[in-house]
Amino acid sequence: MGMPGGGIPVVRLHYSADPTMTPEKVADLRARYTSEARFRRECEIQYEALEGELLYPQFNRERNIVQPFDVSDPDYWTIWMGLDPHPRTAHGLVWEAFNKHGDQLVIGELWPEIGTRYGASDGGRWSTRDYAEAIKFFEGDSMTKPSPFRWARGKKLHVGGRRFMDTFGKAANSGATDAAVQDENFFETYQRLGNELKVNLAFQSALKGHENLAKAQDTIARKLNPSDGGGPPIMRVFADCYETIDEFENVRFPEGTPERPADERPITYQKHCLDCIHYIETARPGHILRRRMVSQPPSNAPGAR
Protein backbone atom coordinates (compact mmCIF):
# COMPACT_ATOMS: atom_id res chain seq x y z
CA MET A 1 0.00 0.00 0.00
CA GLY A 2 1.06 3.63 -0.56
CA MET A 3 0.26 6.97 0.99
CA PRO A 4 -0.61 9.39 -1.86
CA GLY A 5 -0.20 12.98 -0.74
CA GLY A 6 0.19 11.85 2.84
CA GLY A 7 -3.50 10.92 2.96
CA ILE A 8 -5.50 7.72 2.89
CA PRO A 9 -3.46 4.56 2.26
CA VAL A 10 -4.27 2.93 -1.06
CA VAL A 11 -5.29 -0.68 -0.48
CA ARG A 12 -5.50 -2.65 -3.69
CA LEU A 13 -6.69 -5.93 -2.17
CA HIS A 14 -9.14 -6.79 0.58
CA TYR A 15 -7.09 -6.75 3.79
CA SER A 16 -8.27 -10.30 4.59
CA ALA A 17 -6.01 -11.50 1.76
CA ASP A 18 -2.98 -10.46 3.82
CA PRO A 19 -2.17 -13.15 6.43
CA THR A 20 -0.19 -10.64 8.50
CA MET A 21 -3.23 -8.41 9.11
CA THR A 22 -4.03 -8.97 12.77
CA PRO A 23 -7.12 -7.42 14.42
CA GLU A 24 -4.82 -4.79 15.89
CA LYS A 25 -3.47 -3.88 12.44
CA VAL A 26 -6.98 -3.73 11.02
CA ALA A 27 -8.03 -1.38 13.83
CA ASP A 28 -5.00 0.81 13.12
CA LEU A 29 -5.81 0.84 9.40
CA ARG A 30 -9.44 1.71 10.11
CA ALA A 31 -8.34 4.65 12.29
CA ARG A 32 -6.47 6.19 9.37
CA TYR A 33 -9.67 6.79 7.42
CA THR A 34 -11.80 9.86 7.84
CA SER A 35 -15.03 7.84 8.02
CA GLU A 36 -16.23 4.27 8.39
CA ALA A 37 -17.81 4.47 4.93
CA ARG A 38 -14.49 5.35 3.31
CA PHE A 39 -12.79 2.47 5.12
CA ARG A 40 -15.40 0.03 3.84
CA ARG A 41 -15.14 1.51 0.34
CA GLU A 42 -11.35 1.21 0.11
CA CYS A 43 -10.48 -1.75 2.34
CA GLU A 44 -13.52 -3.97 2.23
CA ILE A 45 -14.14 -3.35 -1.49
CA GLN A 46 -17.69 -2.17 -0.81
CA TYR A 47 -18.06 0.23 -3.72
CA GLU A 48 -21.54 1.21 -2.60
CA ALA A 49 -20.33 2.26 0.87
CA LEU A 50 -20.46 6.00 0.12
CA GLU A 51 -23.98 5.84 -1.32
CA GLY A 52 -26.02 8.61 0.30
CA GLU A 53 -23.24 9.40 2.81
CA LEU A 54 -22.44 12.96 3.84
CA LEU A 55 -19.36 14.31 2.11
CA TYR A 56 -18.12 15.69 5.44
CA PRO A 57 -19.64 13.76 8.35
CA GLN A 58 -16.74 15.12 10.44
CA PHE A 59 -18.24 18.63 10.45
CA ASN A 60 -19.55 19.49 13.88
CA ARG A 61 -21.09 22.83 14.85
CA GLU A 62 -19.65 22.79 18.35
CA ARG A 63 -16.03 22.34 17.28
CA ASN A 64 -15.92 23.63 13.67
CA ILE A 65 -17.82 26.91 14.00
CA VAL A 66 -16.11 29.88 15.65
CA GLN A 67 -17.24 33.43 16.27
CA PRO A 68 -15.60 35.88 13.82
CA PHE A 69 -12.52 37.82 14.88
CA ASP A 70 -10.01 40.06 13.15
CA VAL A 71 -7.71 38.21 10.73
CA SER A 72 -6.84 41.22 8.58
CA ASP A 73 -3.19 41.55 9.66
CA PRO A 74 -1.16 40.01 6.78
CA ASP A 75 1.81 39.48 9.10
CA TYR A 76 -0.20 36.89 11.02
CA TRP A 77 -2.79 35.67 8.50
CA THR A 78 -2.55 34.89 4.78
CA ILE A 79 -5.85 35.13 2.90
CA TRP A 80 -6.64 32.93 -0.10
CA MET A 81 -9.74 33.06 -2.29
CA GLY A 82 -11.74 30.65 -4.46
CA LEU A 83 -14.42 31.36 -7.07
CA ASP A 84 -16.88 28.93 -8.66
CA PRO A 85 -18.38 30.59 -11.78
CA HIS A 86 -21.56 29.65 -13.59
CA PRO A 87 -23.11 31.06 -16.77
CA ARG A 88 -26.73 30.90 -15.53
CA THR A 89 -26.67 30.65 -11.74
CA ALA A 90 -24.85 32.70 -9.13
CA HIS A 91 -21.09 32.58 -8.67
CA GLY A 92 -19.85 31.18 -5.37
CA LEU A 93 -16.97 32.99 -3.63
CA VAL A 94 -15.04 32.00 -0.50
CA TRP A 95 -12.17 33.58 1.44
CA GLU A 96 -9.93 31.52 3.74
CA ALA A 97 -7.22 32.63 6.18
CA PHE A 98 -4.15 30.66 7.32
CA ASN A 99 -1.65 31.40 10.08
CA LYS A 100 1.88 30.12 10.69
CA HIS A 101 0.62 27.63 13.29
CA GLY A 102 -1.40 25.78 10.65
CA ASP A 103 -4.84 27.10 11.61
CA GLN A 104 -7.28 27.42 8.73
CA LEU A 105 -10.45 29.55 8.80
CA VAL A 106 -13.26 30.17 6.33
CA ILE A 107 -13.63 33.91 6.95
CA GLY A 108 -15.99 35.11 4.23
CA GLU A 109 -18.32 34.02 1.46
CA LEU A 110 -20.66 35.31 -1.21
CA TRP A 111 -23.56 33.36 -2.65
CA PRO A 112 -25.95 35.98 -4.08
CA GLU A 113 -29.18 34.07 -4.55
CA ILE A 114 -31.99 35.96 -6.23
CA GLY A 115 -34.44 37.23 -3.65
CA THR A 116 -31.91 37.60 -0.82
CA ARG A 117 -30.27 40.76 0.47
CA TYR A 118 -27.24 39.82 -1.61
CA GLY A 119 -29.34 39.64 -4.77
CA ALA A 120 -28.65 41.98 -7.69
CA SER A 121 -30.29 45.39 -7.35
CA ASP A 122 -32.56 44.89 -10.36
CA GLY A 123 -33.78 41.51 -9.11
CA GLY A 124 -32.02 39.66 -11.92
CA ARG A 125 -28.83 37.65 -12.20
CA TRP A 126 -25.59 39.31 -11.17
CA SER A 127 -23.18 40.39 -13.88
CA THR A 128 -19.46 39.72 -13.62
CA ARG A 129 -19.00 43.41 -12.82
CA ASP A 130 -21.33 43.02 -9.82
CA TYR A 131 -19.07 40.30 -8.43
CA ALA A 132 -15.91 42.29 -9.14
CA GLU A 133 -17.33 45.33 -7.36
CA ALA A 134 -18.44 43.14 -4.44
CA ILE A 135 -14.92 41.71 -4.08
CA LYS A 136 -13.47 45.22 -4.02
CA PHE A 137 -16.08 46.28 -1.46
CA PHE A 138 -15.52 43.31 0.86
CA GLU A 139 -11.73 43.65 0.67
CA GLY A 140 -11.79 47.43 1.12
CA ASP A 141 -12.02 49.42 4.34
CA SER A 142 -15.73 50.25 4.28
CA MET A 143 -17.53 50.56 7.61
CA THR A 144 -20.77 49.22 6.12
CA LYS A 145 -19.72 45.73 5.10
CA PRO A 146 -22.59 43.28 5.63
CA SER A 147 -22.45 39.84 7.22
CA PRO A 148 -20.35 37.70 6.79
CA PHE A 149 -17.73 40.50 6.55
CA ARG A 150 -18.97 42.48 9.53
CA TRP A 151 -15.81 41.53 11.41
CA ALA A 152 -13.72 43.35 8.75
CA ARG A 153 -15.48 46.71 8.86
CA GLY A 154 -12.93 49.49 8.50
CA LYS A 155 -10.17 46.99 7.70
CA LYS A 156 -8.60 46.28 4.33
CA LEU A 157 -8.13 42.63 3.43
CA HIS A 158 -5.00 41.63 1.56
CA VAL A 159 -5.18 38.41 -0.47
CA GLY A 160 -1.58 37.41 0.08
CA GLY A 161 -2.15 33.88 -1.16
CA ARG A 162 -3.70 33.24 -4.55
CA ARG A 163 -7.12 33.43 -6.15
CA PHE A 164 -8.39 30.26 -7.82
CA MET A 165 -11.22 29.71 -10.25
CA ASP A 166 -12.78 26.60 -11.73
CA THR A 167 -11.21 25.88 -15.12
CA PHE A 168 -14.76 26.05 -16.50
CA GLY A 169 -14.29 29.82 -16.42
CA LYS A 170 -12.02 29.64 -19.46
CA ALA A 171 -14.67 28.09 -21.64
CA ALA A 172 -17.70 30.00 -20.38
CA ASN A 173 -19.14 33.25 -21.60
CA SER A 174 -18.69 36.04 -19.09
CA GLY A 175 -22.36 36.99 -19.22
CA ALA A 176 -21.51 40.50 -20.37
CA THR A 177 -24.24 42.26 -22.34
CA ASP A 178 -22.14 44.41 -24.64
CA ALA A 179 -20.92 42.80 -27.84
CA ALA A 180 -17.33 43.96 -27.28
CA VAL A 181 -16.78 41.51 -24.44
CA GLN A 182 -19.35 38.77 -25.10
CA ASP A 183 -16.66 36.32 -26.18
CA GLU A 184 -14.39 36.86 -23.17
CA ASN A 185 -14.07 34.12 -20.61
CA PHE A 186 -14.39 34.71 -16.88
CA PHE A 187 -10.63 34.77 -16.31
CA GLU A 188 -10.19 37.54 -18.87
CA THR A 189 -13.25 39.45 -17.72
CA TYR A 190 -12.22 39.51 -14.05
CA GLN A 191 -8.71 40.57 -15.06
CA ARG A 192 -10.11 43.45 -17.15
CA LEU A 193 -12.55 44.54 -14.46
CA GLY A 194 -9.82 44.38 -11.82
CA ASN A 195 -7.70 46.75 -13.90
CA GLU A 196 -10.65 49.15 -14.16
CA LEU A 197 -11.50 48.95 -10.46
CA LYS A 198 -7.87 49.10 -9.30
CA VAL A 199 -8.02 45.73 -7.53
CA ASN A 200 -6.03 42.59 -8.31
CA LEU A 201 -8.50 40.09 -9.77
CA ALA A 202 -5.99 37.79 -11.45
CA PHE A 203 -7.30 34.24 -10.95
CA GLN A 204 -5.38 31.03 -11.51
CA SER A 205 -6.91 27.81 -12.80
CA ALA A 206 -7.83 25.39 -10.04
CA LEU A 207 -6.54 21.85 -10.23
CA LYS A 208 -9.38 19.58 -11.26
CA GLY A 209 -9.80 15.87 -11.86
CA HIS A 210 -11.06 13.11 -9.58
CA GLU A 211 -7.67 12.41 -7.99
CA ASN A 212 -6.88 16.04 -7.12
CA LEU A 213 -10.34 16.73 -5.71
CA ALA A 214 -10.41 13.44 -3.80
CA LYS A 215 -7.10 14.31 -2.11
CA ALA A 216 -8.40 17.78 -1.26
CA GLN A 217 -11.57 16.33 0.24
CA ASP A 218 -9.60 13.84 2.31
CA THR A 219 -7.32 16.60 3.61
CA ILE A 220 -10.29 18.80 4.55
CA ALA A 221 -11.99 15.87 6.31
CA ARG A 222 -8.89 15.35 8.44
CA LYS A 223 -8.64 19.05 9.25
CA LEU A 224 -12.25 19.07 10.47
CA ASN A 225 -11.50 16.40 13.06
CA PRO A 226 -10.06 17.32 16.47
CA SER A 227 -6.29 17.78 16.53
CA ASP A 228 -4.04 15.18 18.12
CA GLY A 229 -4.77 14.93 21.81
CA GLY A 230 -8.33 16.18 21.38
CA GLY A 231 -7.40 19.79 20.68
CA PRO A 232 -9.29 22.21 18.42
CA PRO A 233 -9.55 21.18 14.76
CA ILE A 234 -7.27 22.76 12.19
CA MET A 235 -10.18 23.92 10.04
CA ARG A 236 -13.01 26.06 11.33
CA VAL A 237 -15.66 28.33 9.84
CA PHE A 238 -16.75 31.80 10.92
CA ALA A 239 -20.29 31.65 12.29
CA ASP A 240 -21.60 34.20 9.78
CA CYS A 241 -20.67 32.05 6.75
CA TYR A 242 -24.15 30.56 6.63
CA GLU A 243 -24.00 29.08 3.13
CA THR A 244 -20.68 27.32 3.75
CA ILE A 245 -21.99 25.85 7.01
CA ASP A 246 -25.19 24.75 5.29
CA GLU A 247 -23.22 22.96 2.57
CA PHE A 248 -20.89 21.26 5.05
CA GLU A 249 -23.96 19.87 6.80
CA ASN A 250 -25.94 18.78 3.74
CA VAL A 251 -23.78 17.79 0.76
CA ARG A 252 -23.95 14.02 0.22
CA PHE A 253 -22.80 11.41 -2.24
CA PRO A 254 -25.55 10.39 -4.68
CA GLU A 255 -27.77 7.38 -4.20
CA GLY A 256 -26.95 4.38 -6.37
CA THR A 257 -23.84 2.28 -6.76
CA PRO A 258 -21.16 4.07 -8.85
CA GLU A 259 -19.80 2.27 -11.88
CA ARG A 260 -16.40 3.97 -11.59
CA PRO A 261 -14.58 6.22 -9.09
CA ALA A 262 -15.25 9.32 -11.20
CA ASP A 263 -18.98 8.77 -10.64
CA GLU A 264 -18.59 9.26 -6.88
CA ARG A 265 -19.14 12.97 -7.15
CA PRO A 266 -21.15 14.61 -4.37
CA ILE A 267 -24.45 15.85 -5.73
CA THR A 268 -28.07 16.26 -4.60
CA TYR A 269 -27.30 19.66 -2.98
CA GLN A 270 -25.68 22.90 -4.06
CA LYS A 271 -22.03 22.99 -3.08
CA HIS A 272 -20.64 26.12 -4.67
CA CYS A 273 -18.85 27.35 -1.53
CA LEU A 274 -17.44 23.87 -0.86
CA ASP A 275 -16.15 23.76 -4.42
CA CYS A 276 -14.28 27.02 -3.78
CA ILE A 277 -12.72 25.48 -0.67
CA HIS A 278 -11.75 22.39 -2.69
CA TYR A 279 -10.07 24.56 -5.32
CA ILE A 280 -8.01 26.36 -2.67
CA GLU A 281 -7.11 23.10 -0.95
CA THR A 282 -5.69 21.52 -4.12
CA ALA A 283 -2.97 24.20 -4.03
CA ARG A 284 -1.80 23.12 -0.56
CA PRO A 285 -2.44 26.58 0.89
CA GLY A 286 -0.91 27.99 4.02
CA HIS A 287 0.61 31.04 5.67
CA ILE A 288 3.06 32.97 3.52
CA LEU A 289 5.71 34.90 5.43
CA ARG A 290 5.85 38.46 4.14
CA ARG A 291 9.12 39.98 3.05
CA ARG A 292 10.11 42.78 5.39
CA MET A 293 12.11 45.78 4.22
CA VAL A 294 15.37 45.95 6.15
CA SER A 295 16.74 49.48 6.46
CA GLN A 296 20.39 50.11 5.67
CA PRO A 297 22.65 50.52 8.72
CA PRO A 298 23.95 54.05 9.38
CA SER A 299 27.25 54.89 7.74
CA ASN A 300 29.07 54.97 11.09
CA ALA A 301 27.74 51.59 12.26
CA PRO A 302 30.28 48.78 12.85
CA GLY A 303 30.94 46.99 9.59
CA ALA A 304 29.33 49.70 7.46
CA ARG A 305 31.19 50.81 4.35
The answer to whether the CB of 42 falls within 8 A of the CB of 240 is no
Range with the poorest average pLDDT among 106-110, 113-117, 229-233: 113-117
Strand 204-205, strand 163-165: pairing: parallel
pTM: 0.74
Nearest to 276 by CA among 199, 126, 153, 161: 161
- Indicate if 163 and 34 belong to the same structural domain: no
Cis peptide before 148 (omega within 30 of 0): yes
**How many helices (H) does the chain have, and how many strands (E)?**
8, 7
- Indicate if 248 and 153 belong to the same structural domain: yes
* Residue 16 structural domain: 4-43
- Indicate if 193 and 224 belong to the same structural domain: yes
pLDDT at residue number 102: 93
Residues 6+ apart with CB under 8 A from 103: 234, 236
**188 occurs within a structural domain:** yes
- Indicate if 151 and 9 belong to the same structural domain: no
- Indicate if 30 and 166 belong to the same structural domain: no
Domain of 92, CATH number, reads 3.30.420.280
- Indicate if 200 and 231 belong to the same structural domain: yes
- Indicate if 37 and 80 belong to the same structural domain: no
**132 occurs within a structural domain:** yes
- Indicate if 12 and 64 belong to the same structural domain: no
* Cα-based distances in Å from 171 to 16, 127, 168, 254: 47, 17, 6, 27
Instruction: Domain count for the chain, please give it.
Output: 2
Q: pLDDT of 246-294, one tens digit each?
A: 999 988 876 555 555 444 454 545 788 999 999 999 999 999 988 754 4
**48 occurs within a structural domain:** no
**255 occurs within a structural domain:** yes
